[in-house]
Amino acid sequence: MPASSLKIGMIGLGVVGTGVAKLLFEQQERLAKKAGRPLELTKIAVRDPSKPRDINIPDSIITSHWEDVVNDPSLDVVVELAGGTTWTKKAILDSLASGKHIVTANKALLATHGKEVFDCARKYNRCVAFEASVAGGIPIIGALTQGLAANKIIGLRGILNGTCNFILTSMSETGDSYQNALEEAQKLGFAEADPTMDVDGTDTAHKLAILVQIAFGQTVPFSAIDRVGIAGLNNIDIHFAHELGYGIKLLAEAWINDGKLAVHVSPVLLRMHSPLAQVRGAYNAIQVIGDAVGDTLHYGLGAGRMPTASSVVADIIDIAVGRAQNTFTSMNLWSDSSSVTPMLLSDDVNSRYYLRLLVEDKPGVLADVTRLLANHQISIASIIQHEAQGENANGKVQLVIMTHLSKCGKFKAAAKELTRLDCVSGSAVHYPVED
């Protein structure tokens, strides 16, 4: 007897949704072979049914009400690709309650309401698969839950936002302005509906919260993730970083330090030749260090239609085969048995720093700045000050200082004091440096 098909409903038909529909309609035979049964997309809820789309979908399966998907008793799986944390949370909880498995790319929902969603799935004996929620097409969730399962994870760090990496690459390689690069990323379908979430580090922090849950078994309250985005990043800092032999990347990091868990999202100066500094455009990469495996690097397109659809459809296949249900049960994520490693306060994190100040070009200024740093026990590794050129000089000059290791709290206090010096204009710009 032929195996019965897996009936799929989908909520959302945007960039990723159309990619998923394309794969399910155009690769039926290939996917059925891998899933051991046909995968049938039978209902799709969209906000605007009349919106032109570059894919042919029968009108009969389109609805403008998400409830039609949630309440359809014939469906086995609901794929949620609408994003957001309000009505989509209800749609997911109601779908689980009515016996459907969930596939979602909704990192914001998992990062902020993971326990509620996973508890609900456990209650109704269903599963939630979420490979597409982190790093688009890179199978990092599968790597952490399965391939690296034998390891105690010591640390991970990654480029997790394609939009930010695209912007940083454009600014760095073509001298493009921040605004132009962002608009291009939006056109290419990498950015979130509200790109503020990309550029202020929120999207990266959502993804980091999910990775920390899997890698360290710990629920970190979203508010506990210190985050700085790239919205204020200036081309001048990219130039100085290059001059010093570094690139600037928006990094998400989590690591165990003396028995404490440290997490943060920040632009970081990375040695130009390091693998993460070489990641260009909308690509993402995650470095995971395990006690048995050592250093691993996971690389691929982190945003966009087909790469993210690849992860969504992989989850659908896993459900059709029955693997996702087993992994869901054995991982027991966002549960009461989550670990409670104490958090390392961001002030106590040790790092080198890049510091840029706009200072008056007159006697004693360098002495004032270095004295203040010395008073805070911050040691200087190198200094750049270029000769001011012609009319543009304005009596002011950029001063760039690379420090040796310092506690973050101590460094930030010094940077704040520096801005109060008469010879310093505006605020101090600073980023951590990793060698």
**Which residues are catalytic, by number?**
207
Could you tell me whether strands 101-104 and 260-271 are parallel, antiparallel, or unpaired per DSSP bridges? unpaired
**Would you say 133 or 403 has its CB closer to ligand HSE?**
133
**Residue 136 makes contact with ligand HSE by CB under 6 A:** yes
Q: Is 190 in the site for ligand HSE (CB under 6 A)?
A: yes
Counting every residue written for the chain, the total comes to 435
- Between 198 and 253, whose beta carbon lies closer to ligand HSE? 198
Q: Count of CB atoms within 10 A of residue 164's CB?
A: 33
Rounded to the nearest whole angstrom, what is the least distance from the CB of residue 166 to ligand HSE in the complex?
A: 7
The CB-of-338 to ligand HSE minimum distance in angstroms stands at 24
Minimum gap (Å) between residue 393 Cβ and ligand HSE: 39
Based on C-alpha coordinates, what's the Rg of the chain?
A: 24
Which of these ranges, 88-96, 188-196, 240-248, 252-260, lies near ligand HSE under the rule CB under 6 A?
188-196
Q: Are 95 and 70 in contact (CB under 8 A)?
A: yes
Q: Residues 293-312: x/- map of binding to ligand HSE (CB under 6 A)?
A: ---------xx---------
Min dist CB 268 to ligand HSE, Å, is: 17
Q: Is 189 in the site for ligand HSE (CB under 6 A)?
A: no
Using CB under 6 A, which of the segments 18-26, 158-166, 362-370, 419-427 binds ligand HSE?
A: 158-166
| Torsion sign over Cα 53, 54, 59, 61 | negative
192 touches ligand HSE (CB under 6 A):
yes
Pairs from 176-181 (Cβ < 8 Å, separation ≥ 24): 177/235, 178/230, 178/231, 178/233, 178/235
Does position 201 bind ligand HSE by CB under 6 A? no
Structure tokens at 46: 């969209």
- 410, containing H or E segment: helix 408-418
Nearest to 250 by CA among 330, 161, 172, 323: 161
- Tell me which of 131, 200, 203, 237 binds ligand HSE, using CB under 6 A: 203
CB 199 within 8 A of CB 163: yes
Q: How far is the CB of 182 from ligand HSE (least distance, A)?
A: 11
**Under the criterion CB under 6 A, does residue 191 sit at the interface with ligand HSE?**
yes
237 forms part of the interface with ligand HSE (CB under 6 A): no
List % helix, strand, coil for the chain (3-state, nearest 5).
40, 25, 30
Region of 344 on the Ramachandran plot (φ > 0 left; ψ -120 to 50 alpha; else beta): beta
Q: Which two tokens stand for residue 365?
A: 């200024």
Q: How far is the CB of 91 from ligand HSE (least distance, A)?
A: 19
Cross-strand pairs, 359? 397, 424
Q: Binding string, 25-64, against ligand HSE, x = CB under 6 A?
A: ----------------------------------------
Stretch that binds ligand HSE, among 47-55, 87-95, 161-169, 293-301 (CB under 6 A): 161-169
Q: Which residues bind ligand HSE (CB under 6 A)?
A: 136, 161-163, 190-192, 198, 203, 302-303
